[in-house]
Amino acid sequence: MNREIQALENNKTWYLTNLPNGKKPIGCKWVFKTKYNDDGTIERHKARLVAKRYSQLEGIDYFDTFSPVAKLTTVRIILALATAKDWYIYQLDVDNAFLHGDLNEEVYMTPPQELKLPKQGLVCRLTKSLYGLKQASRQWFAKLSSFLLKLGFAQSNSDYSLFIHKTTSTCTSLLVYVDDIILAGNSMEVINKTKSIMHHTFRIKDLGKLKYFLGFKISSTKKGIHMCQRKYALDILNETGMINNKPCQTPLMSDTKPLFDTNKTSYNADSYRRLIGKLLYLTNSRPDINYFVHLLSQFVQAPTAYHHQSAQHILRYLKAAPGRGLFFPRETDLQIKGFSDSDLATCPKTRRSITGYCVFLRESLISWKSKKHSTMSRSSSEVEYKALVTTSCEIQWISYILHDLCIQLDPPSVIYYDNQAAKHIAQNPSFHERTKHIDIDCHVIRECLQNNLFRLLPISSNDQLVHIFMKALHRTNFKLNVHKLGMLSIHHPA
């Protein structure tokens, strides 16, 4: 606490003054946290003074609050490229990041009890953003982005948290997630120079080569990079009391129809929501449970005991291999490959369809999705075409990110699909008269095909990889698809 107070005063976060008439100070409190290493050992104990944001008034104490953070798809793209191109990749952490943001609004705060005041009745007039303020993250990102732009970095239009520095022979990328930063590139000299300049301005901590980021364990070997959330999965098992339960081979119980039966015994909704929320974050490195968590998340409003039992079944599946995660192999040539499919009228209650897709950068899985449609579709051709449009938009966005990262994709991307009607609609204008209800989607796909952004290639339904994001597969097919996703476990079962 004393070190935190000293850091705030050294940073000139506030100055003491009398409270003007008509102004109301916001409160503050101490928040204590224990930081852990990836192996579960204690890294350090942390004390932080935060403002009580609930007493801030919009239009007086703050105006805008939104601040961009890195998309996890972009994180996976950086890891895949660092592996394929043999880039250097490091992790940085900013000390008291929010304290660097300049505060434009006139905000007063009651002083903490530990602060020695020259006289009673004084308050703190904040000159820099403080943790807890609603505009704190926005002000910090504005300060960091303006600094990086002056340093010669360019901000990506596809992901505002990604900054790229290009020369004729070097390419350096800097990815920002609040105060955690990934710095990657092909020149160690540029990386060291960037570290030195940033440390002089923001007092950064160089955490060395990327090993642990946002709860993801990053392990680098000669064959590639492995990304998993083993500690996070084990924490969920410990918190739910499932750590000693018997593991199972698939993440969903064989019968899914009772999930839609709302007449069963109800279950504690708060506990169920917390568990589903944790599992949703786990899907960022576990695409094998993506569909099943997506299915159970539809019942967070009024879960039943069967829903909780199904969630426990997922936990038993995690118990079998908590260290399973994505593997990015070292490959020289890069090509985007997408798999697209959709299942008509899957939901037995609303009769709405489910779209699934996954996108690979060569053999590295970087993006996937399982989503229930917001409206009903009238034919299998329509839902297949909607899935094709969703996949093409994702591939287009990924290609923009790769272009920003100095990667030129010579061969066009490929999308594998298993519906001939979707192909004819995409390539044959004579079909448009009978498909006016998806006319906009037709134009999206045709424009991508004409620009040679990707090619459409047929695939057998038995080989369609994206089925794992749309339906409960038989155990044999499920294991085969998990293997094809490029998932690997580097730890023995717990």
Predicted local confidence at residue 262, as pLDDT: 73
188-192: long-range contacts (C-beta < 8 A, 24 or more apart)?
188/88, 190/165, 191/88, 191/90
**Using 50, 70 and 90 to split pLDDT, how confident is the model at 433?**
very low
Look up the domain containing 256 and give its range. 228-323
Residue 209 sits in the same domain as residue 86 = yes
477 part of a folded domain: no
Residue 240 sits in the same domain as residue 181 = no
Domain boundary among 288, 304, 323: 323
150 part of a folded domain: yes
The residue-averaged pLDDT of 286-309 equals 90
**Using 50, 70 and 90 to split pLDDT, how confident is the model at 87?**
very high
Per-residue pLDDT for 438 more than 70? Answer: no
First to last CA, the chain: 38
The residue-averaged pLDDT of 104-111 equals 87
**Using 50, 70 and 90 to split pLDDT, how confident is the model at 426?**
low
Geometric angle at alpha carbon 217, from 212 and 219, rounded to 5°: 100
Residue 129 sits in the same domain as residue 275 = no
170-195 pLDDT, tens digit per residue, is: 999 999 998 899 999 999 999 999 99
Per-residue pLDDT for 441 more than 90? Answer: no
**pTM, full prediction:** 0.86
Query: How many residues does the structure list for the chain?
Result: 494
How many structural domains is the chain composed of?
A: 3
Geometric angle at alpha carbon 37, from 92 and 271, rounded to 5°: 110
278-281: long-range contacts (C-beta < 8 A, 24 or more apart)?
278/232, 278/236, 279/236, 279/311, 279/314, 281/215, 281/229, 281/232
The residue-averaged pLDDT of 199-224 equals 89
Domain boundary among 261, 290, 323: 323
Residue 153 sits in the same domain as residue 74 = yes
Structure token pair of residue 10: 């050294």
The CA–CA distances, whole Å, from 428 to 215, 339, 416, 425, 432 equal 47, 21, 18, 6, 8
Residue 346 sits in the same domain as residue 416 = yes
**Using 50, 70 and 90 to split pLDDT, how confident is the model at 493?**
very low
473 part of a folded domain: no
123: left (phi over 0), alpha (psi -120 to 50) or beta: beta
Q: Which of 27-31, 338-342, 487-491 has the lowest mean pLDDT?
A: 487-491
Per-residue pLDDT for 279 more than 70? Answer: yes
Separation of alpha carbons 395 and 381, rounded Å: 21
Residue 37: other Cβ atoms inside 10 A: 12
Residue 138 sits in the same domain as residue 243 = no
Give yes or no for a contact between 397 and 375, defined as CB atoms under 8 angstroms apart.
Answer: no
**Using 50, 70 and 90 to split pLDDT, how confident is the model at 494?**
very low
Residue 367 sits in the same domain as residue 447 = yes
158 part of a folded domain: yes
For residue 78, the one-letter residue type is: I
Residue 449: other Cβ atoms inside 10 A: 16
Separation of alpha carbons 273 and 279, rounded Å: 10
